[in-house]
Amino acid sequence: MRNDPGGSVPHGLCIGCGYASRYLKAGACAPGEVCIRAHSGRQIDRFLNAHRGEAEGYLADLFWERRAIAARYAPLIALDPLLDDPDEAVRRVIAQRLPEERLGRLRRDPDREVRIAVATRLPVEELAGMIDDPDYLVRATVARRLPHGQLKRLVNDPEREVRKAVAQRLPPFALALLADDAEPEVRAIVAARALPSLANRLLQDADWWVRLAALCRADLEQLPVLLDDPEAEIRRAAASRLEREN
């Protein structure tokens, strides 16, 4: 559970605040609206957005939300100590801000959202190190960015969403690797992108929406058989394409 160990400031947030004399009368801060001492992320963010030069001084603050917001505005050179911050919200900000070449240490972060941010930004040549991530959403993110030549390593991933991401990116000549996938959603993506020879084969698929996707990619001479398909939508689509292209 996250707590603000600093507690509340007695007799008003401005008492004893070093910024009050500089900013309060000038309207550059306002308790309830723009305040670094508040327990409100909105107020803290407004303060540090307006006074970015102060952000670095709050990177070690006891309150996790103050550290996380400060990390949004502090100089990049000051952020490395927060790679090991105990709070995942802080590390998520770091994963979104650090230069790509400094993200390597966060590839094995215990927080999934941190690893997703890393997989989104890590240099492509380093993504292979995250192919075996235990979380499927991280692996799906990796699949959306991996070089084509490395996608085969995820063809047999146990999670459907990862294989769908692979099917969306494999070159058409390699889609046969997923043509017999157990999930019709994966096969439908394959059918919609397949070369005609593979699309012809998928016209025989047991699931009608796979056949429908293949119908648009198959050779025209393969379509007459679909005029007797048990699914009305397939029959209509086949008739429409035959009429349009004959």
Please tell me the predicted confidence (pLDDT) of residue 27.
Answer: 87
Tell me: pLDDT of 93 over 50: yes
Q: Say if CB 186 and CB 164 are below 8 A apart.
A: yes
Residue pLDDT, tens place only, 177-229 = 999 999 999 999 999 999 999 999 999 999 999 999 999 999 999 999 999 99
Q: Which range is least confidently modeled, 25-34, 60-69, 232-241?
A: 25-34
Give every CB contact of residue 134 below 8 A, 6+ residues apart in sequence: none
- The answer to whether residues 22 and 37 belong to one domain is yes
**Percentage of the chain with pLDDT > 90?**
86
**Cα(132)–Cα(142) distance, integer angstroms:** 10
- Cβ count near 30 (within 10 Å): 14
- The answer to whether residues 164 and 186 belong to one domain is no
- The answer to whether residues 142 and 120 belong to one domain is yes
State pTM to two decimals: 0.86
- The answer to whether residues 195 and 206 belong to one domain is yes
Q: Which two tokens stand for residue 128?
A: 């292979």
**Percentage of the chain with pLDDT > 70?**
96
Which residues form the domain of 126?
Answer: 111-170
The answer to whether residue 8 sits within a structural domain is no
The answer to whether residue 144 sits within a structural domain is yes
- The answer to whether residues 18 and 86 belong to one domain is yes
**Cα angle at 205 between 200 and 208, to 5 degrees?**
110
Tell me: pLDDT of 34 over 80: yes
The answer to whether residue 30 sits within a structural domain is yes
Q: Which residues pair with 30 in a beta bridge?
A: 34
Burial class of residue 14, CB neighbours in 10 A (0-12, 13-18, 19+) = middle
- The answer to whether residues 78 and 52 belong to one domain is yes
| Residue that terminates a domain, selected from 93, 124, 156 | 93
The total domain count for the chain is 3
Alpha helices in the chain (DSSP H): 41-50, 64-73, 88-97, 112-121, 136-143, 160-169, 184-193, 196-202, 208-215, 232-245
Residue pLDDT, tens place only, 103-117 = 999 999 999 999 999
| Residue that terminates a domain, selected from 58, 93, 128 | 93
Which amino acid, 155? V
- Cβ count near 221 (within 10 Å): 9
Confidence band for 2, pLDDT divided at 50, 70 and 90: very low
Tell me: pLDDT of 172 over 70: yes
Tell me: pLDDT of 8 over 60: no
Residue pLDDT, tens place only, 36-86 = 999 999 999 999 999 999 999 999 999 999 999 999 999 999 999 999 999
- Exposure on the CB side of residue 11, measured as CA atoms within 13 A: 3
- The answer to whether residues 156 and 175 belong to one domain is no
| Residue that terminates a domain, selected from 93, 119, 135 | 93
Confidence band for 128, pLDDT divided at 50, 70 and 90: very high
The answer to whether residue 1 sits within a structural domain is no
Mean pLDDT for the chain overall: 93
Average pLDDT over residues 128-150: 97
The answer to whether residue 22 sits within a structural domain is yes
